[in-house]
Amino acid sequence: MSGKVDSIHIRGGNALFGETQIQGSKNAVLPVMAAALLTEDVCVIENCPRISDVIHMQNLLTKIGCKLSRKGRNLVIDAREVSEDYMEGESVTGMRSSSMLLGAMLGRTGHITMAYPGGCVIGKRPIDMHLNALAKMGVVIEEKEGAFTAWAKRLEGNVIKLPFASVGATENIIMAAVKANGITIIDNAAKEPEIVTLCDFLQRAGAVIEGAGESLLMIKGVNKLHGIQFRIPGDRIVAGTYLFSVLGTGGHIFLKDAPTRQMLSVMRTAAMMGADIEISKEGLSVLAEPARIPIPYVKTEVYPGFPTDLQSPLMAVLSVGEGTCIIEETIFEDRFKMAQELAKMGAQIKIDGKQAFITGVPKLVGCEVSAGELRGGAGLVIAGCMAEGETVVKNRHFIERGYEDICRDYQNLGVNIYTG
Ligand code: UD1
């Protein structure tokens, strides 16, 4: 894609004021779409965001025989027929969430061949934990170059102890387990809100699950699920992106339908930096002075800790102001790539292994920068809102994987921003 038609232009330096609607959650909707396969029925997914990762998942479901249609913000998935179990191409290799179809297809047909899933360039991101867990449930995995086949005559429940509370592995085990023979227990399950949403969807469709959102999760296999209508909650990472933006620029914004209960660690960090936050049933109001309070140290952690997906947006904000801050990244080993682009705008950041040392500067200056992945791209847009002059963020397509229309949202908050 040429830089000319794949960029975002921002005239920065102004405070943010206004209200914007928070879209449905990317990381919640993708596993729910995969899980619709298990219902062998028609499901209506409400509040489904129009992002490119959803389009990739739509393509994959269509390819294997489901019928999909959009009605406004609702996505209808008719999963009564599945005719194909081979998945390859850009929708698999370009999006890590394609791995969700592994557990879902094993639960549905007992067989799948797929290329190795891709996703953002933020570290190695293997799927060894997914495959080891599925093997314990009776799945036979044969690896070929760049692809693998997984099949099981009958999925068997088992006790699975995860070496790390992986979100994707937990989701895949849950999907393989809901129609397996007997009981599956996941020890050290991920506790992210997206796990709770997936379990909520499956339970309403007839699955038996105990302990969603806790480290110990139990799933009792059932014979059949049924179609349901299900609403996707607001996206906590998108809401967090805009929350940090106003900390960077100052101003007063309202984030309608922000999932505040899922954002406690983010709101705590923002409050420590001087944000005045008010929570209501309708969403989140944030008032911030242009100068933030310095904070010395932030560490990314599994939920309910500070999310790795908001590490880059936070780094952009911390690049301006008084004092030095250390950000420690404990989830993905290679998630500081945005720092070198921020440096082009005047930021002073030193990376040493898992730690970034950020020395605040008086201001950023707009220039041409390139997004290298989704959340780093969002961080650069925040930097553009804060910077003096014009910033051009190239590789907009990375941002569109997770933000429905980031320009529309920032325009609602008064930013001079447009695609180009
Ligand atoms: C999900 C989210 C992503 C978020 C991440 C952590 C989706 C679509 N993506 O990604 O936005 O940043 O959770 O909250 O929901 N790992 C292994 N082997 C495995 C699986 C994971 O080594 O089999 C490692 C990964 O390389 C990474 C860490 O475990 O270092 C966390 O990965 P995981 O929790 O699985 O994240 P994802 O599900 O990929």
Q: Is the peptide bond before 304 cis (omega within 30 degrees of 0)?
A: yes
From ligand 1's centre to the CA of 125, what distance in Å? 7
Please give the distance, rounded to the nearest whole angstrom, from the Cα atom of residue 165 to the centre of ligand 1.
9
What ligand 1 atom has the least distance to the C-alpha of 130? Answer: 23
Active site residue 120: yes
Residue 259 — very low, low, confident or very high, per pLDDT cuts 50/70/90?
Answer: very high
CA distance 119 to 136: 26
Handedness of CA 136, 140, 144, 149 (dihedral sign): negative
Which residue's CA is the closest to the ligand 1 atom numbered 3?
Answer: 309
3-state secondary structure at position 186: strand
Average pLDDT, the chain: 94
Which residue out of 120, 325, 385, 407 is catalytically annotated?
A: 120
Rounded average pLDDT over 5-34: 97
Q: What is the pLDDT of residues 219-239, one digit of tens each?
A: 999 999 999 999 999 999 999
Ligand 1: atom nearest CA of 119 is: 39
Does the structure show a pLDDT above 70 at 3?
Answer: no
Handedness of CA 234, 236, 240, 243 (dihedral sign): positive
Q: Residue 153: what pLDDT?
A: 93
The verdict on the CB of residue 375 being under 6 Å from ligand 1 is: no
Ligand 1, pocket-test mutation among 125, 136, 141, 238, most atoms within 8 A of CB? 125
The kind and range of the H/E element at 87 are: strand 86-87
Neighbours of 153 (CB within 10 A): 10
Total residue count of the chain as it appears in this document: 420
**CA-proximal residue: ligand 1, atom 25 (nearest):** 125
33 lines ligand 1 (CB under 6 A): no
Q: How far is the CA of 298 from the centre of ligand 1 (A)?
A: 20
The verdict on the CB of residue 97 being under 6 Å from ligand 1 is: yes
**If you take atom 11 of ligand 1, which residue's CA is the nearest one?**
309
- In the predicted structure, residue 119 carries a pLDDT above the cut 90: no
Give 379 Cα–ligand 1 centroid separation in angstroms. Answer: 20
DSSP classification of residue 232 = P
DSSP string computed for 176-231? HHTTSBSEEEEET----HHHHHHHHHHHHTT-EEE-TTSSEEEEE--S-----EEE
Residue 94's pLDDT band (boundaries 50, 70, 90)? confident
Per-residue pLDDT at 70: 96
155-188 pLDDT tens trace: 999 999 999 999 999 999 999 999 999 999 999 9
274 CA to middle of ligand 1, Å? 31
- Does 96 contact ligand 1 (Cβ within 6 A)? yes
Is the CB of residue 235 less than 8 Å from the CB of residue 228? no
SS (H, E, C) 381-412: HHHHHHCECEEEEECHHHHCCCCCCHHHHHHH
Report the residue among 134, 167, 262, 403 best suited for mutation to probe ligand 1: largest number of ligand atoms under 8 A from its CB: 167
The finding on whether 30 has its CB within 6 A of some atom of ligand 1 is yes
Instruction: Look at ligand 1, atom 7, and give the residue with the nearest C-alpha.
Output: 27
Q: Quick check: CB of 169 below 6 Å from ligand 1?
A: yes
Q: Distance between CA 155 and CA 222 in Å, rounded?
A: 12
CA quadruple 403, 96, 28, 308: dihedral positive or negative? negative
Tell me, what's the pLDDT at 253? 98
**What local confidence, expressed as pLDDT, does residue 2 receive?**
44
The residue behind tokens 């947006």 is: 313
pLDDT digits (tens, 9 = 90+) for 272-307: 999 999 999 999 999 999 888 999 999 999 999 999
Q: What are the tokens at 316?
A: 């952009």
More confident residue, 93 or 204: 204
Query: Which atom of ligand 1 lies at the shortest distance from residue 302's CA?
Result: 14
- Name all domains of the chain by residue range, CATH numbers in brackets: 7-23+234-419 (3.65.10.10), 26-231 (3.65.10.10)
What percentage of the chain reaches a pLDDT higher than 70? 97
pLDDT, tens digit, for every residue of 37-65? 999 999 999 999 999 999 999 999 999 99
Instruction: Name the pLDDT band for 91 (thresholds 50, 70, 90).
Output: confident
Residue 389 alpha carbon to ligand 1 centre in Å: 36
Residue 89 CA, ligand 1 centroid: distance in Å: 21
Which ligand 1 atom is nearest residue 333's CA? 30
DSSP code for 185? E
Angle at 74 between CA 192 and CA 199, to 5 degrees: 30
Please give the Cα distance from 201 to 207 (Å, whole number).
9
Measured from the CB, is residue 128 less than 6 Å from ligand 1? yes
**Is the per-residue pLDDT at 116 higher than 90?**
no
What phi, psi does 403 have (nearest 5°)? Answer: -115, 125
CA of 168 to the centre of ligand 1 (A): 6
pLDDT confidence of 86, banded at 50, 70, 90?
confident
Query: For 335-386, how does the pLDDT look when each residue is reduced to its tens digit (9 = 90+)?
Result: 899 999 999 999 999 999 999 999 999 999 999 999 999 999 999 999 999 9
Mean pLDDT confidence for 82-104 = 86
How wide is the angle at C-alpha 179 spanned by C-alphas 175 and 185, nearest 5°?
Answer: 65
Q: How confident is the model at residue 87 (pLDDT cuts 50, 70, 90)?
A: confident
| % residues pLDDT > 90 (the chain) | 88
Select from 55, 111, 103 the least CA-distant residue to 83.
111
Under the banding of pLDDT at 50, 70 and 90, the label for residue 96 is confident
Please give the DSSP secondary-structure letter assigned to residue 261. G
Helix or strand (DSSP H, E) at 419: strand 416-419
CA dist., res. 227 & res. 81, Å (int):
13
- Nearest protein CA to atom 28 of ligand 1, as residue: 331
User: What pLDDT, on the 0 to 100 scale, is given for residue 235?
Assistant: 98
Task: Tell which one of 99, 129, 331, 399 to mutate to probe ligand 1, the residue whose CB is within 8 A of the most ligand atoms.
Answer: 331
**Nearest atom within ligand 1 for CA of residue 26:** 8
pTM: 0.96
pLDDT-derived band at 124, boundaries 50, 70, 90: low
Q: Are 266 and 277 in contact (CB under 8 A)?
A: no
CA distance 352 to 260: 33
